[in-house]
Amino acid sequence: MEKLCNLNHLLLLFSLLVFPVLINSKTTPTQDEQQSEIITRFQEYLRINTAQPFPDYEKSTQFILTQANSLSLESQVIEFVKAKPLVILKWPGSDPSLPSILLNSHTDVVPSEHSKWVHPPLGAHIDEQGNIFARGSQDMKCVGMQYLEAIRKLKSSGFHPKRSLYLSFVPDEEIGGHDGVEKLAHSDVFKSMNVDIVVDEGLASPNENYRLFYAERTTWWLVIKSTGAPGHGAKLYDNSALENLFTSIEIIRRFRASQFDLVKAGLKGEGDVISVNMVSLKAGTPSPTGFVMNLQPSEAEAGFDIRVPPTANAESLEKRIAEEWAPASRNMSFEVEQFKEKGTNVDYLGRPLITATDSSNPWWTLLEEAIKKANGKVGKPEIFPASTDVYYFRQVGLPAIGFSPMANTPILLHDHNEFLNQAEYLKGIDVYMSIIKAYTSYIPPGRENLQRDEL
Ligand SMILES: [Zn+2]
């Protein structure tokens, strides 16, 4: 009996000591388990085919709503245009009178040439170095998921935001954002969100410094047309359409080289110069076998993709186009109306689309400090060389910063074999935790006094 009793005691002791450990080890995952869950969720998002021109927004919306549910975030799905859903999530702040923070990401990706990839673009395969291969791994499903993971970690650490934090997952950025952010930025929904600062995508950095973007170049798509007397293919004469066009192309190429030289010499960043690239050339008199070879045509045209930083003088560029690139004296036609696309470099009040990087903009300093706090390094502020959704937010007068936490990473957006290393991805989550903490806790100096008075 005595022995049995001892055995019972031992069993009881065993169950008291060991069972909670067993149960605990099941409910609280180890750090490794947590990280592998984080990576699995990222892979899941990457495997949803949201490639243009037929993105599966239904699936991506469902996925994001599931994530939001698991984090107890408020959510709404808005369709300004049918089948183009914007998913807006909210983590309400403790002081609703303070304006909110918006972290934006687009859900669509560009298409891929599957046969040119080492690992399938929808596979989210992880290689031996820990690189996750998928379309959208850099642009920008990584960022959207990092926002969510940062919230997950902050919530489990017991953090409560003062300002409300919004996440927006938007469609169609890769085709201009017209049915997504452009409509959102001008909507009543957006007004009611009372946003103070927007953070959106940036670019990977091949070195150890993260890249921060305070402005973007706008797009001018220009077509110039030349005319001239047609003539025999054997005749040398001036003012043929193609000779006129080539004179222009030579002048444009010299301008292109002058801009590119500044970048090559390290004097200017990629986004600081005006880039010009010829993207189309149309000429010739068609014949059943190709083109008539002994005839100089009377018309020719060339198309150019031009990117203009907000620091450039748009008027003088227009003058240059009219006087040097396509002058009437050379039988060239060019009119402003001929621009297939011509973005403006100013906001609705006529101010340049530039987000301040000095002390006049507390959000810039807060962001830099938050990144450094999370052991990240920051490079010189840059102008984004292409355009993104952030354009529409800056147009309605908001400060907006472009940032994707990818250091030591080759720039592979829109390229074959786009990948992001999982360690870099995990590090980015900690960076966003730091940013969210700093941003949602920020109270402007005047406001601080007010709050104390109120107390
Ligand atoms: Zn993007």
pLDDT for 159: 98
Based on the domain organization, do 223 and 208 belong to the same domain?
Answer: no
> How far, in Å, from the CA of 173 to the mean position of ligand 1?
7
User: Do the domain assignments include residue 319?
Assistant: yes
Please give the residue that has the higher pLDDT: either 16 or 105: 105
User: Do the domain assignments include residue 365?
Assistant: yes
Percent of the chain with pLDDT over 90: 81
Q: Residue 241, Cβ neighbours under 10 Å: how many?
A: 23
Please give the residue that has the higher pLDDT: either 31 or 185: 185
pLDDT for 3: 45
User: Do the domain assignments include residue 227?
Assistant: yes
User: Do the domain assignments include residue 17?
Assistant: no
> How far, in Å, from the CA of 419 to the mean position of ligand 1?
14
Domain that holds residue 37: 31-212+357-454
User: Do the domain assignments include residue 350?
Assistant: no
| Binding site members for Zn(2+) | 106, 139, 174, 201, 414
Based on the domain organization, do 393 and 442 belong to the same domain?
Answer: yes
15-29, 33-47, 241-255, 436-450: the lowest-pLDDT one: 15-29
pLDDT for 401: 98
pLDDT for 52: 97
User: Do the domain assignments include residue 330?
Assistant: yes
Based on the domain organization, do 198 and 240 belong to the same domain?
Answer: no
Q: What is the CATH number of the domain that holds 90?
A: 3.40.630.10
User: How many CA within 13 A on the CB side of residue 121?
Assistant: 24
Based on the domain organization, do 36 and 93 belong to the same domain?
Answer: yes
Q: Is 134 exposed, middle or buried (0-12, 13-18, 19+ CB in 10 A)?
A: buried
Based on the domain organization, do 296 and 417 belong to the same domain?
Answer: no
Residue where one domain finishes, among candidates 285, 310, 342? 342
> How far, in Å, from the CA of 121 to the mean position of ligand 1?
16
pLDDT for 166: 98
pLDDT for 340: 61
Based on the domain organization, do 99 and 195 belong to the same domain?
Answer: yes
Residue where one domain finishes, among candidates 342, 369, 391? 342
> How far, in Å, from the CA of 50 to the mean position of ligand 1?
12
User: Do the domain assignments include residue 267?
Assistant: yes
> How far, in Å, from the CA of 407 to the mean position of ligand 1?
17
> How far, in Å, from the CA of 201 to the mean position of ligand 1?
6
Contact 89, 149 (CB under 8 A): no
Based on the domain organization, do 204 and 225 belong to the same domain?
Answer: no
Contact 203, 384 (CB under 8 A): yes
Q: Considering only CA atoms, which of 145, 194, 256, 105 is closest in space to residue 396?
A: 194
Number of structural domains in the chain: 2
Based on the domain organization, do 142 and 174 belong to the same domain?
Answer: yes
Confidence of residue 391 (pLDDT cuts 50, 70, 90): very high
Instruction: Please state the pTM of the whole predicted model.
Output: 0.85
Tokens of residue 306, six digits = 């031009």
Catalytic sites, residue numbers: 108, 173
> How far, in Å, from the CA of 171 to the mean position of ligand 1?
11
pLDDT for 120: 96
Per-residue pLDDT for 335 more than 90?
A: no
Mean of the per-residue pLDDT values for the chain? 91
Confidence of residue 282 (pLDDT cuts 50, 70, 90): very high
Based on the domain organization, do 80 and 142 belong to the same domain?
Answer: yes
pLDDT for 404: 98
> How far, in Å, from the CA of 136 to the mean position of ligand 1?
8
Based on the domain organization, do 255 and 319 belong to the same domain?
Answer: yes
Based on the domain organization, do 41 and 110 belong to the same domain?
Answer: yes
pLDDT for 1: 42
Q: What is the mean pLDDT of residues 296-325?
A: 92
Q: Considering only CA atoms, which of 42, 166, 55 is closest in space to residue 104?
A: 166
User: Do the domain assignments include residue 24?
Assistant: no
Per-residue pLDDT for 24 more than 80?
A: no
Residue where one domain finishes, among candidates 301, 319, 342? 342
Based on the domain organization, do 76 and 188 belong to the same domain?
Answer: yes
Q: What is the CATH number of the domain that holds 272?
A: 3.30.70.360
Q: What is the mean pLDDT of residues 87-94?
A: 98
> How far, in Å, from the CA of 139 to the mean position of ligand 1?
4
Percent of the chain with pLDDT over 70: 91
| Binding site members | 106, 139, 174, 201, 414
